Amino acid sequence: MIVTAGAARGYVDSRNGHPFWVAPLIAVIVIAGLLAWPQIMYKPQVRTLGFGPAGLETSIRDRHRSYRWSDVATIEDKGDEVIVQLKNLNAFLIPQAAFEDKTTALNQIRQWWKPVS
């Protein structure tokens, strides 16, 4: 093993000649990117979500997407919100205030959605 004067002082990794701080810097950048990703992908615009016999329809401004009921993994009533989780692990968290009558809406949705046992 060859140890240079810089490596002896801790400034350079003697194996590849790179400064010792490069790896920690890369790790910090990667971790910061992972932490920032949800904020980067957040859509602050109002999302419209509709339910019908064919499935769910969602839109944000001019972007529209439809999901069949067979794409829905679970529907959970958590009291103050309803969680509709898709099989691709995306989920819609719907506040209770979004429903005129949550009980009636959930009963209708459960008639359309048939979970696979």
- What does 5-28 look like in DSSP terms, one character per residue? HHHHTTSB-TTT--BTTHHHHHHH
Residue pointed to by tokens 């209708």: 108
Spatial contact of 108 and 51, defined as CB atoms under 8 Å apart: yes
With cut-offs at 50, 70 and 90, classify the pLDDT of residue 15. low
pLDDT on residue 62:
86
pLDDT on residue 116:
64
The pLDDT of residue 8 is above 80: no
pLDDT on residue 16:
63
Regarding whether 58 and 28 lie in a shared domain, the answer is no
Spatial contact of 27 and 34, defined as CB atoms under 8 Å apart: no
Task: Report d(CA 51, CA 67) in Å as an integer.
Answer: 10
With cut-offs at 50, 70 and 90, classify the pLDDT of residue 7. very low
Asked whether residue 52 is domain-assigned, the answer is yes
Regarding whether 92 and 64 lie in a shared domain, the answer is yes
- Count of structural domains within the chain: 2
Mean local confidence (pLDDT), 80-93: 92
With cut-offs at 50, 70 and 90, classify the pLDDT of residue 86. very high
Regarding whether 57 and 26 lie in a shared domain, the answer is no
DSSP state of 69: G
Regarding whether 56 and 107 lie in a shared domain, the answer is yes
With 0-12 / 13-18 / 19 or more C-beta atoms within 10 angstroms meaning exposed / middle / buried, residue 22 is exposed
pLDDT on residue 10:
53
pLDDT on residue 6:
46
